[in-house]
Chain A
Amino acid sequence: MIVAGIDVGSTTTKVVVLKAGDTKEILGKNIIQTGFNHAETIEESLSLALRSARIDKKDITYIIGTGYGRNNVAFADKKVTEIACHGHGAHFYFPNARTIIDIGGQDSKIIKLDNTGRIIDFAMNEKCAAGTGRFLEVMAKVLQVELDQMGELSNAATTGITISSMCTVFAESEVISKISQGYRREDIINGLHGAVSDRVIPLGKRLGINNDIIMTGGVAKNKGIISSFEKKLDSKIFVPEDPQIIGALGAALIASLETANTKAKKN
């Protein structure tokens, strides 16, 4: 049986096509920019994921939509919040996961799991881009670097810089003043990564951060962010192979549970 999870995020839309059953296998996946028209983005991403899986849409038995645009996945059998999906997705790769740090385009979330993978509590950033992927995107533009170079550049930092503004707009002016003071790009980027972890860690401290800690979401691709968290939490952070698709994967995993449940009911 084949199922799919579609995660319509603020920045990107992700689709995972999954072989359900006892041994689960990712058959196909896709990540594209979320366009203004959610319906078109969803169609495109799904058809690309299906092509990569060499599967026809009619062979999919169950689809779950998630992410902030989940209600626009018109053909979904069910809609689930991305918090639940990241919980399932992270637990699939790391059965010992107890705390998940998920940083996406507009949200940062801390999700706490019990030893069965069930979500027991969560916290989210408030209505503000501070400490999110959007924050890093804006800063990358100011610093004239590509977003995916930031991690590597920050590893070459030599001087510690503190970016104290939480607000993306004010932090941008702070960065501009650091540039005019002659600081190196690498050091500023390192300071920005510190600003993100400083913003997210207190969210987690409210719930209590337990090992193992997993990081998911697009921002987890940034190695500089990971090492900033590892230093401040004095703990290893586990990152799945493709952290950006964990929400979509979680949605597909819930879809596979749903089909198993309906099957059990029928029998």
Chain B
Amino acid sequence: MNSQIKKPAIGWTCTYLPLEIIHAAGFLPYRIIGNYDSFQLADSIVPSNYCPYIRNCLDVALRGEYHFLNGVIMTDSCHAGELLYDAWRHYTNTDYVYLLDVPRIVNDDSIKIFQIRLQNFIVNFENHFSIKITEQSLFDAAALYNKNRALLENLYNLRKLENPPITGLEMIQIMNKNWIMDIESFNNYLQHFLSVIENNPNKADLKNRKRIMLMGGKISHPELIKIIEDDGDAVIVFEDICTYYRYFDRATETDQDILYSLSKRYLSKIPCPRMMDDGTRWNAISKIIDEYTIDGVIYHSLKFCVTNSIKALTLKEQIHEIGKPFLYIEGDYTLNCIEQLRTRIRTFLDLI
């Protein structure tokens, strides 16, 4: 897991954490995704009817497999995220564990409040590691991440085409590189990848496939994507899941106070279901369904995920109202019960 890591790394779990700060501090932001398999050690601490993603990540941490991290930063995105912070702090030897408090409401006041929290976080981080995060380094990091987001947006724009240049499986493989690669190398990789597909636009014929939007929380394993695409009659053209669009939507403004701009960018991007529902999310999603000519929506929630499962109820009605089919499925962050999901997905694709 850590053989590819060439510089000191900081673990992160949620796209509400401004990765620019970690990069500006000279660390590699390393996304914590667990191993989709082990729960035994975590289950001696956490009830088993708790978020399986959190239990799995904690288990891998308790096994010592995240020892190479110099620190981890959680957000209070949901109660499970807070629990991961508490358990990680108490039960592992990780040197630095921090919980960043993220507002749930987006307005001028909350942007100012989040800016203060980012400032406090930076001071805490600087003191712990005896380093200085300069304003210039934050501007530089913001430019790098803006470039990254623009490249991903270019790639997504190509997926709007009648014949999208990549499958959902290729997309998840690309994004999984992003979580362990240095941002500059990933930008170079993306740039190269884009030039290859732009010069070779018709490598696969995905034209007549049913166009699927995948929604939900944590999905980093390709297996679910394969079930959707393997029979050859469907292709995922958009993902609204924990990373992906929630990661690259909106650039950070670089013409004013950088912490204010970071705060504004992170709070104003497409809201995750944990945010207060003021209509912004549905406006964004209905626009995406239109622009990407989505034929059907598959919504995957982890078991016991209150945030994602409850928000799916209203979303289902909204999506049915615009005449699109919607499938809700649940997973337990393992690959053990994949056949039952296959039956649901196959039937759903037949209905489209």
Within 8 A of B (CB), among A233-261: none
* Residues of chain B with a CB closer than 8 A to A82's CB: 343
* Residues of chain A with a CB closer than 8 A to B337's CB: 127
**Chain A nearest Cβ from B281, distance in angstroms:** 22
The reply to whether B330 and A124 contact each other, CB–CB distance below 8 Å, is no
Interchain CB contact (< 8 A) of B351 among A80, A120, A124, A126: A120
Q: Given contacts A81-B350, A84-B350, A119-B351, is CB(A124)–CB(B344) below 8 Å?
A: yes
Q: Given contacts A124-B344, A127-B332, is CB(A68)–CB(B350) below 8 Å?
A: no
A-facing mask of B313-352, CB < 8 A → 1, else 0?
0000000000000000010100001011001101100110
B-facing mask of A114-147, CB < 8 A → 1, else 0?
0000011110101100000000000000000000
A172, B67: Cα distance in complex, Å: 43
A50 in contact (CB, < 8 A): no
**Chain B nearest Cβ from A167, distance in angstroms:** 11
A83 in contact (CB, < 8 A): yes
* Residues of chain B with a CB closer than 8 A to A186's CB: none
A187 in contact (CB, < 8 A): no
A7 in contact (CB, < 8 A): no
* Residues of chain A with a CB closer than 8 A to B330's CB: 126-127
Most-contacted residue by chain A among B303, B343, B351 (CB, 10 A)? B343
* Residues of chain B with a CB closer than 8 A to A84's CB: 347, 350
A68, B332: Cα distance in complex, Å: 19
Q: Given contacts A126-B330, A127-B332, is CB(A81)–CB(B347) below 8 Å?
A: yes
Within 8 A of B (CB), among A50-71: 68
**Chain B nearest Cβ from A87, distance in angstroms:** 9
Interchain CB contact (< 8 A) of B343 among A68, A121, A126: A68
The reply to whether A107 and B347 contact each other, CB–CB distance below 8 Å, is no
* Residues of chain A with a CB closer than 8 A to B346's CB: 81
**Chain A nearest Cβ from B87, distance in angstroms:** 25
Complex: chain A residue closest to B339, CB-CB: A68
* Residues of chain A with a CB closer than 8 A to B340's CB: 68, 107, 124, 127
The reply to whether B343 and A81 contact each other, CB–CB distance below 8 Å, is yes
A-facing mask of B285-315, CB < 8 A → 1, else 0?
0000000000000000001000000000000
**Chain B nearest Cβ from A83, distance in angstroms:** 4
* Residues of chain B with a CB closer than 8 A to A120's CB: 351
A153, B179: Cα distance in complex, Å: 60
Most-contacted residue by chain B among A81, A107, A122 (CB, 10 A)? A81
**Chain B nearest Cβ from A146, distance in angstroms:** 29
* Residues of chain B with a CB closer than 8 A to A122's CB: 344, 347
A120, B337: Cα distance in complex, Å: 25
Q: List 26 A-B contacts (CB under 8 A).
A: A68-B339, A68-B340, A68-B343, A80-B350, A81-B343, A81-B346, A81-B347, A81-B350, A82-B343, A83-B343, A83-B347, A84-B347, A107-B340, A107-B343, A119-B350, A119-B351, A120-B351, A121-B351, A122-B344, A122-B347, A124-B344, A126-B330, A127-B330, A127-B332, A127-B337, A127-B340
